[in-house]
Amino acid sequence: MTQPLDFFRYRHRSLRAGSTDLAEIAARVGTPAYVYSAEGLLKPFRELQSGLRGLRESTICYAVKSNSNIGVLKLLGDAGAGADLVSGGELLRARKANIPPQRIVFSGVGKTADEIQAGLSYGAHGIYSFHVESLEELELIQSVAERHDVKQARTAFRFNPNIDAKTHPYISTGLKRNKFGLNRAELLEAARRARKLGNVHVCGLSIHIGSQLLSLKPLQAAFQALATMVLEIEALLGHPLEFVDLGGGVGVSYEVRGPKPPSLKEYTRLIVATFGPKSPFRSRLRVLIEPGRTISANAGVLLTRVLFRKARKAKDFLVVDAGMNDLMRPALYGSRHAVLPVRQGTKGKLKRTDLVGPVCESSDCFGQDLQLDTALASGDLLAIMSSGAYGMSMAGNYNSRVRPAEVLVEGNRWRVIRDRETLDDLLRGEHL
Ligand code: LLP
């Protein structure tokens, strides 16, 4: 489990990624800008890798949706990561980053024929698995495979076990009221149907009950339910499965003194206990996981500059140049991110302050009633911490704002991995 200050630290009163001063990056590329630490991305990835070493075979399919910049994908792909995709656009990114097809899985409830075809035609044998979420999708994969002479499209069924992940309702996915996966009855029906389909091969089962999980208990229950389902499905299909995919990773810390999510050690230990050499499966199944946030959240910050202070009696508003279009999480989920000054300067008094952006919505607020220093003034730089996951990947152009630049710090060097959008980019494809 990572924390906001694991990869960004103060030295000589300025916030740095390794030895790189964030103020230097802001001066060169402007603000708002996302800054990612390569070390921050690789450390949790390697911790997961070593935690899973007790298994015979495993693949970490990084959830591209959490941070889909191709520079980030290349870094993780080169370290051995696969990819968990949810669209043809993400497939294009994974291909650009040279992530091999045998390490790619495709999740999501709404795959189109074009997206399925793109997955089938990557490499000689297509991607490792389409994680099927409905009977209709299974039929569509069959017909696309048949049309393109693909002998066996590799698929898995996504199981919805009706288990409460106890997370924010918007990111809970394993309950029967959620649109995701197949319930037990649907799954058994899909297996019966699959036996009759000539161009589809069912190789595995997958599960994903939610994101930002703060306890292992629901995951443990979900893994058990999956284990039972493996045996049931194998009996129905008449052949053994090759793999299980255990879904996204565990939660991370967003606040320095916030709730403590499970450690990566505890998480991987649970996986090895359920599917490893000492489990009833005796490691016969390959294990995939699809972590996003675990890897990218605390590897990134959003740099922003103070524009104005609106001083009021009860509380001040500090207006910054980043908005909810750049980082949507607080507005969408009410999530809290630590906010730190890039320079630890002279201290004033602490005053109740709302940190707000320029977008015309009252929800454009990165923190309400924060105790911020009254010395913070126009021109000062702030870092909105833990913004590496679901930050830039969810950014948009609301209020016709251009999306921020992205920077990757590697060792003592840094480089721009996405240019700030321009006003021309904003109008691209529009016509009078
Ligand atoms: N696999 C599947 C099938 C998923 O739906 C997700 C996330 C993941 C893996 C990765 O989960 P993670 O390891 O990142 O927890 N925008 C929200 C999070 C949405 C998560 C959607 N699915 C946020 O900012 O909190």
Atom 11 (ligand 1) nearest CA: 248
pLDDT of residue 253: 94
What residues flank ligand 1, with Cβ below 6 Å? Answer: 63, 66, 84, 107, 171, 173, 208, 211-212, 247-249, 290-294, 329, 333, 390
Quickly tell me which residue has 């495993």 as its tokens.
58
Give residue 359 CA to ligand 1 midpoint distance, Å.
Answer: 26
Long-range residue pairs from 365-371, CB within 8 A, at least 24 positions apart, any chain: 365/324, 365/330, 365/331, 366/320, 366/322, 366/327, 366/330, 366/337, 366/339, 367/330, 367/336, 367/337, 367/339, 369/315, 370/339
Quickly tell me which residue has 């630890």 as its tokens.
344
Would you call 360 a catalytic residue per the annotation?
yes
Instruction: State which fold the 8-36+298-427 domain adopts.
Output: Lyase, Ornithine Decarboxylase; Chain A, domain 1 (2.40.37)
- Could you tell me whether strands 200-206 and 243-245 are parallel, antiparallel, or unpaired per DSSP bridges? parallel
pLDDT of residue 175: 79
What's the distance, Cα to Cα, between the start and end of the chain in Å?
Answer: 50
Give residue 432 CA to ligand 1 midpoint distance, Å.
Answer: 38
DSSP state of 362: T
> Ligand 1 test: best mutation among 252, 293, 324, most atoms within 8 Å of CB?
293
pLDDT tens digit at each of 432 positions of the chain: 899 999 999 999 999 999 999 999 999 999 999 999 999 999 999 999 999 999 999 999 999 999 999 999 999 999 999 999 999 999 999 999 999 999 999 999 999 999 999 999 999 999 999 999 999 999 999 999 999 999 999 999 999 998 888 888 887 787 788 888 999 999 999 999 999 999 999 999 999 999 899 999 999 999 999 999 999 999 999 999 999 999 999 999 998 777 889 999 999 999 999 999 999 999 999 999 999 999 999 999 999 999 999 999 999 999 999 999 999 999 999 999 999 999 998 788 999 999 999 999 999 999 999 999 999 999 999 999 999 999 999 999 999 999 999 999 999 999 999 999 999 999 999 999
pLDDT of residue 281: 96
pLDDT of residue 54: 95
pLDDT of residue 390: 98
pLDDT of residue 426: 97
Other Cβ atoms within 10 Å of 229 Cβ, number = 20
CATH superfamily of 38-293: Alanine racemase (3.20.20.10)
- Could you tell me whether strands 381-384 and 339-341 are parallel, antiparallel, or unpaired per DSSP bridges? antiparallel
Atom 5 (ligand 1) nearest CA: 208
Structural domain boundaries of the chain?
8-36+298-427, 38-293
CATH topology agreement for domains 8-36+298-427 and 38-293: no
